[in-house]
């Protein structure tokens, strides 16, 4: 080694054996992995060495995707830069130019925009119908249809999908199925066990759980995940090592968080259902034996001034996302479903009085009290 500072500062040595017994997986914050000679390099392309370049694979992204695939009881998985990129990767693994997709009309607004404003640039046609009536889905299927897409629990009205019915319909017509399981998480539902081909998560939400990372995960059948992974690599939709590490760290408390948050949501839903200034409470009656999820959507009565309600929330934060450990609220008209036309929002029931509540891990009685105070302070 040269004695010059400029060379020594670049090539400082560290014995990696010293960290092999680390309790937590180290962050492999490296763009690439090195090789001792050309034969060693060639061994990567022969499948004997796992890592070459972090856009393709990295130990941290592998750990995350493998963990969620295990929780979902799926064959394989791939981690991506966001929930939206995971959805796109799944779609491109199941549909090509000239193909057709049938999707639920009550999906998340960002997904709605992807399906209607972007997929035509890939030459993929989309028809959106109500999946509450599988006969409508059946009628929308064409000769070039390849995929049925929906959410296990819809955003924001929390409609619980008939997964077994969907799988049966898809099987009859030789179609793939893909389900966004973000709201339910594998704690409540495991769509792959029902026969769903691909399951997607905005891991930004409950998987990560702490509002400090943006990430996505797609899991499912090995053949489709192999195709989706190639799309992720080619399109540059990979997740960075640090974000993967953060998401995986957060996922370890998913069971504890969902148990408490689902309990709190149930208590709040019951309390608001009894409030005369709440026109409607949307909360599932049976998602799974473990609970019904941590989202409550409400439609305030016209006796409430909406802007005043948002100004009176106190310690409850207004946020355009969900699933952190703290309780937050979102206004679909101006955030998640802003890109939809008035007619499209009206069709799925979103109006100026609809508010989505993401329930945290606080004391349930404190959450109920704060929302009741906000409503009381906002009566016209």
| 285 and 306 inside one domain | yes
| 279 and 207 inside one domain | no
For residue 25, the SS3 value is coil
Q: Is residue 12 part of a domain?
A: no
Encoded tokens for 365: 């009685």
- CA 236 to chain CA centroid, Å, is 19
* Residue 333 belongs to domain spanning: 254-376
Structural domains in the chain (count): 2
Pick the closest to residue 264 from 363, 195, 337 (CA basis): 363
List the beta strands (DSSP E) in the chain. Answer: 76-80, 100-104, 125-129, 145-151, 176-180, 198-201, 216-220, 278-282, 295-300, 317-318, 328-330, 354-358
Q: Is residue 347 part of a domain?
A: yes
pLDDT at 263 over 80: yes
Q: Is residue 265 part of a domain?
A: yes
Helix or strand run (H / E) with residue 347? helix 342-348
Which residues lie closer than 8 Å to 59 by C-beta, 6 or more apart?
Answer: 25, 28, 51, 241
Give the predicted TM-score (pTM) of the model.
Answer: 0.94
Encoded tokens for 320: 């355009």
Q: Report the alpha-carbon angle 181-357-280, nearest 5.
A: 100
Please report the pLDDT score of residue 6 as a whole number. 59
pLDDT interval class at 5 (50, 70, 90): low
Q: Is residue 313 part of a domain?
A: yes
* Separation of alpha carbons 351 and 217, rounded Å: 31
Label the pairing between strands 145-151 and 100-104.
parallel
Please report the pLDDT score of residue 166 as a whole number. 98
The backbone torsions φ and ψ at residue 9, rounded to the nearest 5 degrees and listed phi first, read -70, -25
Q: What is the mean pLDDT of residues 131-149?
A: 97
Q: Is residue 23 part of a domain?
A: no
| 281 and 355 inside one domain | yes
pLDDT interval class at 12 (50, 70, 90): low
Residue 87 sits in a domain whose CATH number is 3.40.640.10
Label the pairing between strands 176-180 and 145-151.
parallel
For residue 279, the SS3 value is strand
Please report the pLDDT score of residue 114 as a whole number. 97
Last residue of a domain, one of 200, 220, 251: 251
pLDDT interval class at 291 (50, 70, 90): very high
| 210 and 282 inside one domain | no
* Separation of alpha carbons 276 and 378, rounded Å: 13
Please report the pLDDT score of residue 349 as a whole number. 86
pLDDT at 19 over 80: no
For the residues of 167-212, what is the DSSP string, one character each? HHHHHHHT-EEEEE-TTTHHHH--GGGGT-SEEEE-TTTTTT-SSS
* Separation of alpha carbons 245 and 242, rounded Å: 5
Q: What is the pLDDT of residues 312-358, one digit of tens each?
A: 999 999 999 999 999 999 999 888 788 788 888 888 889 999 999 99
Q: What is the mean pLDDT of residues 146-154?
A: 98
| 92 and 139 inside one domain | yes
Which residues lie closer than 8 Å to 184 by C-beta, 6 or more apart?
Answer: 152, 153, 287, 288, 293
Before 156, cis peptide (omega within 30)?
yes
Q: Is residue 42 part of a domain?
A: no
| 139 and 265 inside one domain | no
Which residues lie closer than 8 Å to 135 by C-beta, 6 or more apart?
Answer: none
Are 211 and 321 a contacting pair, CB within 8 Å? Answer: yes
Residue 278 sits in a domain whose CATH number is 3.90.1150.10
| 265 and 353 inside one domain | yes
- CA 154 to chain CA centroid, Å, is 12
Are 188 and 287 a contacting pair, CB within 8 Å? Answer: yes
| 185 and 213 inside one domain | yes
Last residue of a domain, one of 215, 235, 251: 251
Q: Is residue 21 part of a domain?
A: no
| 344 and 213 inside one domain | no
Last residue of a domain, one of 222, 251, 280: 251
| 262 and 344 inside one domain | yes
| 163 and 247 inside one domain | yes
Please report the pLDDT score of residue 340 as a whole number. 80
Q: Is residue 166 part of a domain?
A: yes
| 223 and 345 inside one domain | no
Q: What is the mean pLDDT of residues 243-255?
A: 96
């Amino acid at each position: 080694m040269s004695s010059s500072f400029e060379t020594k500062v670049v090539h400082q040595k560290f014995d990696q054996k010293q960290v092999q017994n680390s309790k937590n997986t180290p962050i492999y914050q490296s763009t690439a992995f090195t090789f001792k000679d050309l034969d060693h390099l060639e061994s990567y392309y022969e499948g004997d060495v796992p890592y070459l370049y972090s856009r393709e694979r990295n130990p941290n992204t592998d750990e995350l995707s493998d963990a969620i695939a295990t929780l979902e009881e799926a064959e394989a998985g791939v981690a991506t830069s966001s929930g939206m990129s995971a959805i796109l990767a799944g779609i491109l693994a199941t549909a090509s130019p000239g193909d057709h997709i049938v999707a639920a009309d009550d999906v998340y607004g960002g997904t709605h925009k992807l399906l209607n404003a972007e997929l035509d640039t890939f030459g993929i046609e989309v028809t959106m119908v109500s999946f509450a009536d599988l006969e409508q889905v059946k009628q929308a299927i064409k000769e070039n249809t390849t995929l049925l897409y929906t959410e296990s629990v819809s955003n924001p009205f929390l409609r619980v999908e008939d997964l077994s019915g969907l799988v049966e319909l898809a099987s009859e017509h030789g179609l793939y199925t893909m389900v966004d399981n973000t709201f339910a998480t594998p704690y409540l539902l495991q769509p792959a066990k029902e026969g769903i081909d691909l399951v997607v998560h905005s891991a930004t939400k409950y998987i990560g759980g702490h509002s400090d990372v943006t990430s996505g995960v797609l899991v499912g059948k090995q053949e489709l995940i192999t195709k989706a992974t190639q799309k992720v690599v080619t399109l540059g939709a990979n997740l960075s090592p640090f974000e993967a590490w953060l998401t995986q760290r957060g996922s370890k408390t998913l069971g504890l968080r969902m148990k408490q948050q689902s309990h709190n949501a149930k208590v709040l839903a019951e309390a608001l259902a009894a409030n005369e200034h709440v026109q409607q409470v949307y909360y599932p009656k049976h998602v799974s034996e473990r609970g019904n999820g941590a989202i409550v959507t409400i439609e305030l009565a016209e006796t409430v001034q909406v802007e005043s309600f948002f100004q009176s929330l106190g310690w409850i934060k207004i946020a355009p996302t969900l699933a952190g450990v703290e309780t937050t609220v979102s206004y679909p008209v101006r955030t998640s479903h802003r890109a939809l036309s008035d007619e499209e929002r009206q069709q799925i029931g979103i109006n100026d009085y609809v508010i989505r509540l993401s329930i945290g891990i606080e004391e349930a009685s404190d959450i109920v009290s704060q929302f009741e105070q906000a409503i009381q302070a906002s009566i016209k």
